């Protein structure tokens, strides 16, 4: 028994197979070029390495409504060639196995939920803070979705009192992503985020934005745990600052678990997505 | 066959019975005093009017986790006597019938979902904008809940550019409720909200806050429809202003239905809550 996983990102695809114990046997990276270039490489990989089911986490927005005519499509993306691309059906026609279709952030959430920082939680909110900000909510063992999947990175936020940066979101300017994703930190600092001193005030400001977002996620989703992943979350000094600012902003309005257990760093790092995709392949295979 | 409903609010309880066709047969109002005064009147009503099941919508926060030791309790309320009150069990001991236990805003959401403005939607977000702001999300025929129920009225919001009001939320000051619930409107105007001219700039400001909240609800919950109820929503001129501001803030980042159908006024008025409670009695009775 072999499972397949695809983490389809805007710059690269990670494609892997695992055995029936979810041990990864082979994993490759494919650059994201036009669909006509990238997709045949994905198909070829699974023709060479046959699997019983495939879990797919795809950059978005994507159509995840099984009733929709566009189910399985990438919809609004600015990425050349991928807009309105019939992703799932192209794969299904080439590789006739059951497939689980969800967002890139949802597969990472699933990885953390099953094997990472969320493994003891029933209700997990996962957010990645990297080039962009995205999130996925797992509620009673299922992804929260309604008319569509959530887009938690683009919520409006109040500004930090001394922040005048215009914001880097191409759509909104100063939404959460525009003020708190990696590119926004780097635009203010003028250097790569990982070069900024860990005691720089910019991290206090960053913590304020992420804490504010965690407050909104707490009030609307009421998760048991919030797991933060993505490049920016590697700044370990952020976590105590986020928890403190969260407490200061929420003011105990609702009960939450002790904050050291409530707002935590992801544990699977870059592997969360592909691990989650492989686990979702198993889930779809077992019905 | 008779169903019972209880809408337990901070100032009054509405208690009713309906027949098997969900026609309301009798409805009374009981002032909210201490539990030892109010609860016996509720019990007496149902002793005089026996029912097969009761739906309860209670002011909160309340414990709705069936696994919790405090399931059925009102938890953190500032209301004297009601804090940590074992609401559901007091009723169960007096009236031995199946009961559906949820929040006051959830029963109103359920009423609108079944018989009001949300009746054609699978995924409905309902918010009341009155003395406070609260919301409930119905996702695939079920209330969204996780560790607890949502508390959507207390999210952080950006200020309207010319608004200097400090905010009326006793906990946060200028959260959404603190800036946009009825008391905040009235504190700025110095008169009752219903006396403010319908072309006053205060409504533009109010629309900005409610639109901003609708944007956050849209991004996190992805509902098919947002229904606004409560006293403030009676200002019909708000709706076009909210829709316009929503469009301006969201900037089409995600697809939503046409706004005249997406952000709409509640249809059941004050009856939404008790109607929803009676329908939930039927739901719990039928398992
Ligand atoms: N060690 C680090 N510390 C702080 N920020 C980082 C670090 N590594 C990466 N970043 C930020 O995260 C962004 C990349 O995010 P990442 O999650 O690694 O990839 P992506 O979001 O593109 O999948 C970079 O733009 C950078 O600003
Ligand atoms: N017609 C109206 N127009 C505007 N605001 C109103 C109107 N009626 C009531 N309100 C506001 O709504 C608040 C009462 O809210 P309501 O939803 O009626 O009750 P509650 O929230 O207490 O259950 C009042 O504080 C008032 O500010
Ligand atoms: Zn944005
Ligand atoms: Zn508040």
Q: Which ligand is nearest to the CA of A215?
A: 4
The residue-averaged pLDDT of A39-62 equals 97
Which residues are registered as beta bridge partners of B103?
B58
Q: Which ligand is nearest to the CA of A175?
A: 3
**pTM, entire model:** 0.97
Residues of chain B short of pLDDT 50, as ranges, are none
What pLDDT digit, counting tens, does each position of B130-150 carry?
Answer: 999 999 999 999 999 999 999
Cα B266 to ligand 2 centroid, rounded to whole Å: 14
Task: Say if residues B124 and B105 touch (Cβ distance below 8 Å).
Answer: no
Within this chain, do residues A201 and A275 fall inside the same structural domain, yes or no? no
* pLDDT score for B124: 98
Please name the residues between 168 and 187 in chain B that touch chain A, using a CB distance below 8 Å: 171-172
| DSSP structure class, residue A66 | T
Within this chain, do residues A123 and A78 fall inside the same structural domain, yes or no? no
Residues B11, A280: Cα–Cα separation, whole Å: 49
Q: Does A83 touch chain B (CB under 8 A)?
A: no
The residue-averaged pLDDT of A254-272 equals 97
What ipTM does the predicted assembly reach? 0.97
Within this chain, do residues B133 and B242 fall inside the same structural domain, yes or no? yes
* Any ligand 2 atom below 6 A from CB of B130: yes
Strands B142-143 and B133-139: antiparallel
Residue nearest to atom 22 of ligand 1 (CA): A131
Q: What is the largest CA-CA distance in chain B?
A: 56
What ranges in A49-132 are assigned the alpha helix state H?
87-94, 104-115
Q: For the stretch A217-233, what's the b/e string if a residue is b when 16 or more beta carbons lie within 10 angstroms of its beta carbon?
A: bbbbbbbbbbbbbbbbb
* Any ligand 1 atom below 6 A from CB of A10: no
Task: Say if residues B125 and B137 touch (Cβ distance below 8 Å).
Answer: yes
Within this chain, do residues A254 and A148 fall inside the same structural domain, yes or no? yes
Report the domain count for chain B: 2
What pLDDT digit, counting tens, does each position of A199-247 carry?
Answer: 999 999 999 999 999 999 999 999 999 999 999 999 999 999 999 999 9
Residue A168 in domain: yes
* Per-position DSSP letters for B28-80, written without gaps between them: EEEE---HHHHHHHHHHHHHHS--SEEEEEE-SSB---TTSTTTT-B-S--ST
Beta carbons of A156 and B157 less than 8 Å apart: yes
Q: Which ligand is nearest to the CA of A7?
A: 1
The residue-averaged pLDDT of A109-138 equals 97
Residue A109 in domain: no
Residue A152 in domain: yes
Specify the ligand 1 atom closest to the Cα of A129: 17
Task: Look up residue A274 and give its two tokens.
Answer: 């592909």
Within this chain, do residues B137 and B245 fall inside the same structural domain, yes or no? yes
* Any ligand 1 atom below 6 A from CB of A5: no
Q: Which residues of B touch A75 (CB under 8 A)?
A: 255
**Number of other residues whose CB lies within 10 A of the CB of residue B285:** 19
Q: Does B158 touch chain A (CB under 8 A)?
A: yes
Cα A58 to ligand 3 centroid, rounded to whole Å: 19
Within this chain, do residues B121 and B161 fall inside the same structural domain, yes or no? yes
Residue nearest to atom 10 of ligand 2 (CA): B231
What pLDDT digit, counting tens, does each position of B88-146 carry?
Answer: 999 999 999 999 999 999 999 999 999 999 999 999 999 999 999 999 999 999 999 99
| Structural domain that includes position A230 | 117-267
Residues B120, B227: Cα–Cα separation, whole Å: 12
Alpha-carbon distances, residue B14 vs A93, B87, B182 (angstroms) = 58, 15, 21
Within this chain, do residues B260 and B125 fall inside the same structural domain, yes or no? yes
């Amino acid at each position: 028994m072999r499972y397949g996983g695809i983490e389809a990102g805007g710059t690269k695809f990670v494609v892997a197979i695992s055995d029936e114990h979810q041990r990864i046997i082979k994993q490759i990276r494919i650059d994201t070029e036009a669909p006509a270039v990238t997709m045949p490489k994905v198909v070829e990989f699974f023709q060479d390495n046959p699997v019983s089911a495939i879990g797919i986490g795809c950059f978005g927005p994507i159509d995840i409504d099984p009733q929709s005519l566009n189910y399985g499509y990438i919809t609004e993306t600015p990425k050349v060639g991928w807009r309105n691309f019939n992703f799932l059906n192209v794969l299904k026609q080439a590789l006739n196995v059951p497939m689980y279709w969800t967002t890139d952030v949802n597969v990472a959430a699933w990885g953390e939920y099953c094997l990472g920082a969320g493994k003891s939680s029933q209700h997990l909110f996962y957010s990645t803070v990297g080039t962009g900000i995205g999130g996925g909510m797992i509620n009673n063992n299922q992804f929260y979705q309604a008319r569509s999947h959530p887009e938690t990175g683009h919520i409006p936020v109040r500004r930090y009192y001394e922040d005048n940066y215009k914001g880097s979101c191409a759509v909104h300017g100063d939404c959460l992503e525009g003020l708190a994703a990696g590119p926004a930190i780097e635009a203010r600092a003028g250097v790569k985020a990982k070069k900024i001193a860990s005691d720089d005030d910019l991290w206090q400001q960053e913590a304020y934005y992420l804490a504010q977002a965690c407050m909104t996620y707490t009030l609307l989703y009421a998760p048991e745990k919030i797991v933060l992943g993505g490049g920016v979350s590697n700044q370990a000094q952020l976590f105590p600052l986020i928890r403190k600012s969260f407490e200061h902003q929420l003011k105990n309005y609702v009960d939450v678990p002790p904050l050291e257990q409530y707002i935590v760093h992801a544990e699977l790092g870059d592997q969360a997505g592909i691990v989650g995709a492989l686990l979702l392949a198993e889930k779809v295979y077992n019905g």
